Protein backbone atom coordinates (compact mmCIF):
# COMPACT_ATOMS: atom_id res chain seq x y z
CA UNK A 1 0.00 0.00 0.00
CA UNK A 2 1.18 3.46 -0.91
CA UNK A 3 -0.28 6.86 -0.08
CA UNK A 4 0.11 10.04 -2.12
CA UNK A 5 -1.11 13.53 -1.18
CA UNK A 6 -2.95 15.81 -3.62
CA UNK A 7 0.31 17.54 -4.56
CA UNK A 8 1.90 14.27 -5.67
CA UNK A 9 4.12 13.61 -2.65
CA UNK A 10 4.52 10.09 -1.29
CA UNK A 11 3.08 10.25 2.25
CA UNK A 12 2.92 6.55 3.15
CA UNK A 13 4.27 3.14 2.14
CA UNK A 14 3.85 -0.11 4.01
CA UNK A 15 6.46 -2.83 4.51
CA UNK A 16 5.03 -5.09 1.77
CA UNK A 17 5.19 -2.31 -0.81
CA UNK A 18 8.79 -1.54 0.18
CA UNK A 19 9.72 -5.21 -0.18
CA UNK A 20 7.98 -5.36 -3.56
CA UNK A 21 9.89 -2.41 -5.03
CA UNK A 22 13.10 -2.91 -3.04
CA UNK A 23 13.42 0.64 -1.66
CA UNK A 24 13.22 1.35 2.07
CA UNK A 25 10.47 3.56 3.46
CA UNK A 26 12.99 6.34 4.17
CA UNK A 27 13.81 6.66 0.45
CA UNK A 28 10.17 6.72 -0.64
CA UNK A 29 8.20 8.79 1.87
CA UNK A 30 8.52 12.48 1.10
CA UNK A 31 9.52 11.89 -2.54
CA UNK A 32 7.61 13.80 -5.20
CA UNK A 33 6.25 12.33 -8.41
CA UNK A 34 7.74 10.88 -10.61
CA UNK A 35 8.62 8.11 -8.20
CA UNK A 36 11.77 6.04 -8.56
CA UNK A 37 9.80 2.78 -8.74
CA UNK A 38 8.36 3.66 -12.14
CA UNK A 39 10.48 2.88 -15.22
CA UNK A 40 11.85 6.12 -16.72
CA UNK A 41 11.37 4.83 -20.27
CA UNK A 42 7.64 4.34 -19.65
CA UNK A 43 6.91 7.71 -18.02
CA UNK A 44 4.46 8.89 -20.68
CA UNK A 45 2.17 5.93 -19.96
CA UNK A 46 2.72 6.22 -16.20
CA UNK A 47 2.05 9.98 -16.18
CA UNK A 48 -1.39 9.64 -17.76
CA UNK A 49 -2.35 6.84 -15.38
CA UNK A 50 -0.87 8.59 -12.33
CA UNK A 51 -3.17 11.53 -13.02
CA UNK A 52 -6.13 9.11 -12.99
CA UNK A 53 -4.86 7.68 -9.70
CA UNK A 54 -4.38 11.13 -8.18
CA UNK A 55 -7.88 12.23 -9.28
CA UNK A 56 -9.43 9.02 -7.96
CA UNK A 57 -10.63 8.10 -11.46
CA UNK A 58 -9.38 4.52 -11.29
CA UNK A 59 -11.72 1.92 -12.82
CA UNK A 60 -13.13 -0.60 -10.31
CA UNK A 61 -10.89 -3.33 -11.75
CA UNK A 62 -7.80 -1.11 -11.32
CA UNK A 63 -5.00 0.05 -13.60
CA UNK A 64 -2.10 -2.10 -14.76
CA UNK A 65 1.19 -0.22 -14.56
CA UNK A 66 4.83 -1.12 -15.09
CA UNK A 67 7.03 -0.86 -12.00
CA UNK A 68 10.78 -0.98 -11.43
CA UNK A 69 12.57 -2.54 -8.51
CA UNK A 70 15.64 -0.95 -6.97
CA UNK A 71 17.78 -3.67 -8.59
CA UNK A 72 16.40 -2.64 -12.01
CA UNK A 73 14.03 -5.57 -12.51
CA UNK A 74 10.66 -4.66 -13.99
CA UNK A 75 7.31 -6.03 -12.94
CA UNK A 76 3.64 -5.33 -13.59
CA UNK A 77 1.42 -4.06 -10.82
CA UNK A 78 -2.35 -3.87 -10.58
CA UNK A 79 -3.17 -0.61 -8.79
CA UNK A 80 -6.45 0.01 -6.97
CA UNK A 81 -7.14 3.38 -5.41
CA UNK A 82 -9.20 4.89 -2.59
CA UNK A 83 -9.58 8.54 -1.62
CA UNK A 84 -7.92 9.73 1.61
CA UNK A 85 -9.82 12.39 3.55
CA UNK A 86 -9.12 14.32 6.73
CA UNK A 87 -11.47 14.44 9.71
CA UNK A 88 -13.56 17.16 8.00
CA UNK A 89 -14.05 15.06 4.85
CA UNK A 90 -11.65 17.09 2.73
CA UNK A 91 -9.70 15.07 0.20
CA UNK A 92 -6.01 14.95 1.11
CA UNK A 93 -4.78 12.30 -1.29
CA UNK A 94 -5.10 8.76 -2.57
CA UNK A 95 -4.30 5.43 -1.00
CA UNK A 96 -3.14 2.90 -3.56
CA UNK A 97 -2.98 -0.85 -3.24
CA UNK A 98 -0.48 -2.53 -5.56
CA UNK A 99 -0.43 -6.24 -6.40
CA UNK A 100 2.39 -7.81 -8.41
CA UNK A 101 0.68 -9.37 -11.46
CA UNK A 102 3.84 -10.28 -13.38
CA UNK A 103 3.07 -14.01 -13.27
CA UNK A 104 -0.43 -13.36 -14.63
CA UNK A 105 0.92 -11.13 -17.43
CA UNK A 106 3.51 -13.79 -18.31
CA UNK A 107 0.78 -16.48 -18.39
CA UNK A 108 -1.38 -14.27 -20.65
CA UNK A 109 1.55 -13.77 -23.04
CA UNK A 110 2.25 -17.50 -23.05
CA UNK A 111 -1.42 -18.20 -23.83
CA UNK A 112 -1.38 -15.68 -26.71
CA UNK A 113 1.82 -17.23 -28.09
CA UNK A 114 0.41 -20.77 -27.82
CA UNK A 115 -2.86 -19.70 -29.41
CA UNK A 116 -0.97 -18.12 -32.30
CA UNK A 117 1.14 -21.26 -32.76
CA UNK A 118 -2.00 -23.42 -32.73
CA UNK A 119 -3.67 -21.27 -35.39
CA UNK A 120 -0.53 -21.43 -37.55
CA UNK A 121 -0.36 -25.23 -37.15
CA UNK A 122 -4.04 -25.57 -38.10
CA UNK A 123 -3.50 -23.43 -41.19
CA UNK A 124 -0.48 -25.51 -42.22
CA UNK A 125 -2.52 -28.70 -41.76
CA UNK A 126 -5.32 -27.27 -43.91
CA UNK A 127 -2.82 -26.46 -46.65
CA UNK A 128 -1.39 -29.98 -46.51
CA UNK A 129 -4.85 -31.59 -46.68
CA UNK A 130 -5.86 -29.26 -49.50
CA UNK A 131 -2.71 -30.10 -51.47
CA UNK A 132 -3.22 -33.84 -50.86
CA UNK A 133 -6.82 -33.62 -52.07
CA UNK A 134 -5.78 -31.68 -55.13
CA UNK A 135 -2.88 -33.96 -55.99
CA UNK A 136 -4.39 -37.39 -55.25
CA UNK A 137 -8.14 -37.16 -55.78
CA UNK A 138 -7.88 -34.47 -58.45
CA UNK A 139 -5.33 -36.53 -60.37
CA UNK A 140 -7.44 -39.68 -60.16
CA UNK A 141 -10.58 -37.86 -61.29
CA UNK A 142 -8.73 -36.35 -64.23
CA UNK A 143 -7.48 -39.82 -65.22
CA UNK A 144 -11.00 -41.19 -64.94
CA UNK A 145 -12.34 -38.38 -67.13
CA UNK A 146 -9.77 -39.11 -69.87
CA UNK A 147 -10.54 -42.85 -69.69
CA UNK A 148 -14.26 -42.22 -70.06
CA UNK A 149 -13.66 -39.89 -73.01
CA UNK A 150 -11.59 -42.62 -74.70
CA UNK A 151 -14.31 -45.21 -74.10
CA UNK A 152 -16.90 -42.89 -75.62
CA UNK A 153 -14.74 -42.23 -78.68
CA UNK A 154 -14.16 -46.01 -79.05
CA UNK A 155 -17.93 -46.55 -78.91
CA UNK A 156 -18.79 -44.27 -81.85
CA UNK A 157 -20.26 -47.24 -83.71
CA UNK A 158 -22.39 -48.27 -80.75
CA UNK A 159 -25.67 -46.43 -80.49
CA UNK A 160 -28.29 -46.10 -77.89
CA UNK A 161 -28.44 -45.78 -74.20
CA UNK A 162 -24.92 -47.06 -73.37
CA UNK A 163 -23.25 -44.08 -75.05
CA UNK A 164 -25.71 -41.69 -73.37
CA UNK A 165 -25.05 -43.34 -70.01
CA UNK A 166 -21.30 -43.00 -70.49
CA UNK A 167 -21.71 -39.30 -71.39
CA UNK A 168 -23.82 -38.85 -68.23
CA UNK A 169 -21.05 -40.44 -66.12
CA UNK A 170 -18.47 -38.22 -67.81
CA UNK A 171 -20.43 -35.07 -67.01
CA UNK A 172 -20.54 -36.08 -63.35
The candidate with the shortest Cα–Cα distance to 62, out of 33, 28, 100, 91, is: 100
In whole angstroms, give the CA distance from residue 13 to residue 26.
10
- pTM assigned to the model: 0.63
pLDDT of residue 36: 92
pLDDT at site 148: 79
Choose among 9, 40, 12, 6: nearest CA to 26: 12
Residue 34 · residue 46 · CB < 8 Å: yes
pLDDT tens digits for range 118-162:
999 899 999 888 888 778 887 778 878 887 777 777 777 666 677
CA within 13 Å, CB half, 26? 0
> b/e map of 112-143 (b: 16 or more CB within 10 Å)?
eeeeeeeeeeeeeeeeeeeeeeeeeeeeeeee
91-100 sheet: strands from edge to edge: 10-13, 2-5, 91-100, 74-85, 63-68
Q: What is the pLDDT along the chain (172 residues), one digit of tens a residue?
A: 999 999 989 999 999 999 999 999 999 999 998 899 999 888 888 888 888 888 888 888 899 999 999 999 999 999 999 999 999 999 999 999 999 998 888 888 889 899 999 999 899 999 888 888 778 887 778 878 887 777 777 777 666 677 777 777 777 6
pLDDT at residue number 158: 64
pLDDT of residue 160: 64
Burial 150-161 (b: 16+ CB within 10 A, else e): eebeeeeeeeee
Peptide bond into 34 cis (omega under 30): yes
Amino acid sequence: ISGVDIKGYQIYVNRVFCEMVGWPEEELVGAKYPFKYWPPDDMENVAANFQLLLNGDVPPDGIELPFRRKNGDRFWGLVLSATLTDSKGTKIGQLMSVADISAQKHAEKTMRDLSSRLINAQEMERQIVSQDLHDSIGGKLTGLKYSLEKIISDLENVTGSFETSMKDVLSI
